[in-house]
Structure 1
Amino acid sequence: MSGAGRSGLPRGVRLLAVPAVLVVCAGPALGGCSGGTGHGSPDAGSTGSWSVRGENALPGTADWAITRPGAPDEIQGYADHVGVRPGTAVRLLVSTRASSFTVRAYRFGWYGGARARLVWTSAPAVGERQAAAVVDGRGTAVAPWRPSLTVPTDGWPPGSYLLRLDAASGGQRWVPLTVESPATAGRVVLLQPVTSYQAYNTWGGANLYTGPDGTAATRARAVAYDRPYQDEDGAADFFTLEQPLVVYAEQLGLPLAYRTGLDLEQDPGALAGAAAVVSEGHDEYWSPAMRATLTAARDHGANLAFLGANAIYRRIRFESSALGADRVEVNYKVPQEDPLYGKDDAQVTGNWPDPPDADPQNALTGQGYACYSSTNGPLVVADPGHWIWAGSGVLAGQRLAGLVGPESDHVDPVNPAPAPLTVLAHSPVACAFGPATTADATYYTAPSRAGVFDAGTENWVCALRDDSCPGVPDQVRQVVRTATATLLAKFANGAAG
């Protein structure tokens, strides 16, 4: 979330009127290994033998949801990796009042409408009440816990996972994990916005916005991945910003690959050969290395889809924690507070459009950040003849109710986008802070012939839900689902031009 934007369209912008058995090992304090059960296919970790269609033909699981959340301290935990390649072990660090607990790993997809499949179940692990949060001088909270068990991921297919912690006393919580695809060549990459998940995480008392007293003055200047997530029973913003897209993309049977934002930080080749990259939901926090990796992918012909708003707005950097590299995310928001200010301005944290070393996101996304709105408004169609609307039946000036908000983007006259830029929708927005402006949906073609789409509204992903999106009528959801299917199918075939 950011400040208010500016309205108006610059010259050059076109505003037109016319889809086996595994092993779970306890930590040293728990005395070794206990049995676990796998439910995957033996070739699941290989993109050569695994497919989204084949995966979703497997039986889904109807009872994956948390039904007994209990108090947060009844059971909670986190993983020592945000994402891993198939077959890489993950340690879980769990604190619970219960004498024992069980872990169930659910992979999310379509599965005939079940939306998840149970891939693995642990044997009961010994429960332990672990230490309270430790907070440093920057407001960074960590959970200084001992590992509780080790989860092998042998045979797990790539995808977005939630590990459900089930306490013997009845409480339940989630731990997110991405099992990354071995390769991305020729695939549509779904990019999990873990940096935004962590920026908004208040576990331990503070996030990058507010501190224990609820004010910005006591906010954290850095946040750690060495702690559970507070929201959505430990799932961060998975169900709000990610699950609808994952489920729908897998329902479409697209050739998918899975990556996290941290992958782009750590591996410049993380998107090698990708047909397309999809930024999910509210993908706000990006480091210079993350942005460079995505830009290089576009410049090599990978199509980009930003299916949210406010993407690549906050500039961050990473530091190490006790558990490893890149597990502390730094964003001072006020550049002058950053110790690197005036010393290494390329690494100073703040906002991408602002000094020092300003580099507005428009050059990549096509748009700038508009504003946050406390009420959702209609998306107004400007170019019904563009191929993205094919089969949706939309008309010029049609108002798609409830689709714009709470965050939105617009074509920025001060920081122009690559040209030519086509405006697909141009909508009024009443900002919660600052004057009213507009929200836009845009498309441009890069010199590599890659197509770049920015939905310009956070509610685009909500409208992909297969049940309902609050405030968005079913007929509007169908327009968005049709447009998304058209977009992703075209993007899956290579540079869309």
Structure 2
Amino acid sequence: MSENLKNLLETAVPSRRGLIVAALAGTAAAMTGLSPAVAATTVAASNGFTFQGENRRLGTSRNQLPTSWGTSGALQGFLGQHASTAKQRVVDLFVNSTQKTFQVKAYRLGNYAGLGQRLVWSSPVTPVVAQAPATVDPATRATFCNWKVSLKVDTSAWPEGFYYLVLSAPSPWYSRTPSPQAHMIPLVVESASLAGKAVLVFNDLTMQAYNKWGGASLYTGRDGKVPTRSLKVSFDRPYANPDVFETYNVPMIRTAESITDSRVSLGYTTEARLAGNPALLTGAAAILFSGHSEYWSHGLRRSVEAVRDAGTNVVFFGANNVYWRIRTEPSALGPDRLVVCYREAALDPLASAHPELATTRWQDGPSPEPACSLTGSMYGDLGVTGLFTVTEPSFFAFQGTGVKRGATFPGLIAGETDANCNLPSQPGNLVIFSHSPAPGSYRAKDWSDGSIYTTKSGSAVINMATTNWLAAQYDPAVPARSRDFAARVTRNIITAAAQGPIGQRYGGTAV
């Protein structure tokens, strides 16, 4: 044991000391045995599905998918619900196109021996239904597509998981006009139960906030300026930003589904589903948030904190999480179809009567709750480039990587980052396992601080503190050594988190 680590153990609070000591014992010893609830879920899923079994099936080559996604008016669509759920497996699909027909193919995302996806279903060629023009609410500048249902997609026989729905409008053989680019719609076939599972969460609330379909998002208006931005954005419109799904969600899915350990059981859902259905998380082994989960409702945060305090591990594989406080409201198509974010308390009509619901930054008034009380490290900078730097090699997820203190990995720190904020609301037993120089747009000297803390229930909250952590694992421009390291650490985290409270197995029992 190094002198520095010996001193750290002697001065650490009990939960921190236990976490580090257990980490030194190694992952294999710490992972023996399962809680009865987790074991029952893992051994006998109610529908017989396991992601390991699914990924042994023959995948579909990426060259059978489009090289890019179309976002023009030539072909576009959206879904009438946030996910295919156990109570509603038939999903309404709304499509508009300049062509006469369209077809849909559904690809389930996973590992599939490195291919990355599997074609699960193809629709018949379907006539295009003439659709009405989109409408805009003049008060909030929210855009709605009051379209007719084009196709009902029955997902009852599909395995649970994350999907691309790929829309294409093939031109007739005699046409000299090329068909429009394929359009992609993300779909989650939600697990019938999330109990006992490590739950992958699609960041659909965050994705919708950035969606400029119709000309406006929560950032800018149709004139490209901030004052004319939308105050509410609707799910009743196509996505114009499929890159957000691919960058922040797909790498997490593919790495998670490369795990072969039969003790790991995965679940699948979305931010919007959790915002409107807090009971979904009851009994989950872990909640895994993708590369950027920025927009959180009051209910979403309370439900995640409640299950964390009851023993559910929480992992943030990105940065700038839990930053904007939002509300969800219904649209004509169903509940939680509107994302509300006034950004300024003075503009929000609920801010005075219900300050806890004011749609400002979580750290701002009238009811400030800095994200760090949940996330550990908290948003620091953007436009960052830096070296991932190990500061605590005994962190359990580094097991098997051979890293030492000061080891660096280029390509993993980029985009936005979280840092140790040193605020009173930050957990008192926070351990920083990576302290990486990360100069960005705001500060020439800044840091990305990977962190972990444990709660009294034994659950752990882990924050990787960079939005590039997941995407780098599949970026050929990132050195192979860095990609392999990040993938190994990610699998270690998911494997441990899926087996129940990390702190109980590694010794940390109190904040």
> Same fold by TM (over 0.5)?
yes
Q: Does 1:237 align with 2:244?
A: yes
Residue 60 of structure 2 corresponds to which residue in structure 1? 61
- Asked if the contact 1:198/1:224 (under 8 Å) is kept, the reply is yes
Residue 209 of structure 1 corresponds to which residue in structure 2? 219
Residue 73 of structure 1 corresponds to which residue in structure 2? 73
CA distance in 1, matches of 2:496, 2:456: 18
CA spacing shift, 1:438–1:69, aligned 2, 3 Å? closer
CA distance in 1, matches of 2:69, 2:371: 39
Amino acid at match of 2:461: V
- Asked if the contact 2:143/2:214 (under 8 Å) is kept, the reply is yes
Selected match of 2:254 from 218, 225, 247:
247
CA distance in 2, matches of 1:70, 1:209: 22
| Structure 1 residue 268: Cα displacement | 2.0
Selected match of 2:364 from 347, 351, 354:
354
CA offsets per residue over residues 135-167 of structure 1, 9 Å max, x none? 222121122211111111111111011111110
Selected match of 1:185 from 195, 208, 212:
195
Structure with more of its chain in helix, by fraction: 2
How does 1:278-289 map onto structure 2 within 5 Å? 278-289=288-299
CA spacing shift, 1:308–1:134, aligned 2, 3 Å? same
Q: Does 1:481 align with 2:487?
A: yes
- Asked if the contact 2:370/2:425 (under 8 Å) is kept, the reply is no
- Asked if the contact 1:420/1:444 (under 8 Å) is kept, the reply is yes
Q: Does 1:132 align with 2:133?
A: yes
CA offsets per residue over residues 279-307 of structure 1, 9 Å max, x none? 11100000011111111111111111100
- Asked if the contact 1:197/1:236 (under 8 Å) is kept, the reply is no
- Asked if the contact 2:106/2:164 (under 8 Å) is kept, the reply is yes
Q: For 1:402, what is the secondary structure of its paired residue?
A: strand
CA distance in 1, matches of 2:308, 2:433: 21
CA distance in 2, matches of 1:331, 1:85: 27
CA spacing shift, 1:105–1:437, aligned 2, 3 Å? same
CA distance in 2, matches of 1:314, 1:323: 25
Residue 49 of structure 2 corresponds to which residue in structure 1? 50
Amino acid at match of 2:472: A
Q: For 1:488, what is the secondary structure of its paired residue?
A: helix
| Structure 1 residue 220: Cα displacement | 0.9
- Asked if the contact 2:202/2:249 (under 8 Å) is kept, the reply is yes
Q: For 1:269, what is the secondary structure of its paired residue?
A: helix
CA distance in 1, matches of 2:454, 2:70: 50
Amino acid at match of 2:164: L
Amino acid at match of 1:59: L
Selected match of 2:170 from 168, 171, 174:
168
CA spacing shift, 1:70–1:349, aligned 2, 3 Å? closer
- Asked if the contact 2:411/2:472 (under 8 Å) is kept, the reply is no
- Asked if the contact 2:71/2:240 (under 8 Å) is kept, the reply is no
Farther off after superposition, 380-389 or 238-247 = 380-389
Residue 106 of structure 1 corresponds to which residue in structure 2? 107
| Matched length | 454
Amino acid at match of 1:157: P
CA distance in 2, matches of 1:151, 1:421: 46
CA spacing shift, 1:200–1:334, aligned 2, 3 Å? same
CA distance in 2, matches of 1:278, 1:68: 27
CA distance in 2, matches of 1:272, 1:424: 29
CA distance in 1, matches of 2:424, 2:75: 47
- Asked if the contact 2:71/2:183 (under 8 Å) is kept, the reply is no
How does 1:72-471 map onto structure 2 within 5 Å? 72-86=72-86, 88-137=89-138, 138-169=140-171, 170-171=179-180, 172-231=182-241, 235=242, 237-253=244-260, 254-373=264-383, 375-434=384-443, 436-465=445-474, 468-470=475-477
| Structure 1 residue 435: Cα displacement | 5.4
Amino acid at match of 2:364: D
Structure with more of its chain in strand, by fraction: 1
CA distance in 1, matches of 2:302, 2:233: 22
CA distance in 2, matches of 1:227, 1:317: 18
Gaps of 5+ in 2: 1-10, 28-44, 172-178, 504-511
CA spacing shift, 1:371–1:47, aligned 2, 3 Å? farther
Gaps of 5+ in 1: 1-10, 20-45
| Structure 1 residue 92: Cα displacement | 0.7
CA spacing shift, 1:71–1:222, aligned 2, 3 Å? closer
Selected match of 1:490 from 488, 493, 496:
496
Q: For 2:473, what is the secondary structure of its paired residue?
A: coil
CA spacing shift, 1:64–1:299, aligned 2, 3 Å? farther
- Asked if the contact 2:195/2:284 (under 8 Å) is kept, the reply is yes
CA distance in 1, matches of 2:71, 2:430: 50
| Structure 1 residue 277: Cα displacement | 0.9
% same residue: 36
Amino acid at match of 1:442: S
CA offsets per residue over residues 102-135 of structure 1, 9 Å max, x none? 1111111111122111111111111145333322
CA distance in 2, matches of 1:408, 1:415: 20
Amino acid at match of 2:98: R
CA distance in 1, matches of 2:90, 2:389: 48
- Asked if the contact 1:97/1:129 (under 8 Å) is kept, the reply is no
| Structure 1 residue 59: Cα displacement | 1.4
CA distance in 1, matches of 2:414, 2:340: 27
Cα root mean square deviation, aligned: 2.2
| Structure 1 residue 453: Cα displacement | 0.6
| Structure 1 residue 219: Cα displacement | 1.1
| Structure 1 residue 70: Cα displacement | 5.5
CA distance in 2, matches of 1:416, 1:348: 20
CA distance in 2, matches of 1:71, 1:381: 41
- Asked if the contact 2:129/2:148 (under 8 Å) is kept, the reply is no
CA distance in 1, matches of 2:464, 2:146: 40
CA spacing shift, 1:190–1:209, aligned 2, 3 Å? same
CA offsets per residue over residues 305-334 of structure 1, 9 Å max, x none? 100001111100011111111100001111
- Asked if the contact 1:104/1:120 (under 8 Å) is kept, the reply is yes
CA spacing shift, 1:93–1:48, aligned 2, 3 Å? closer
CA distance in 2, matches of 1:452, 1:188: 13
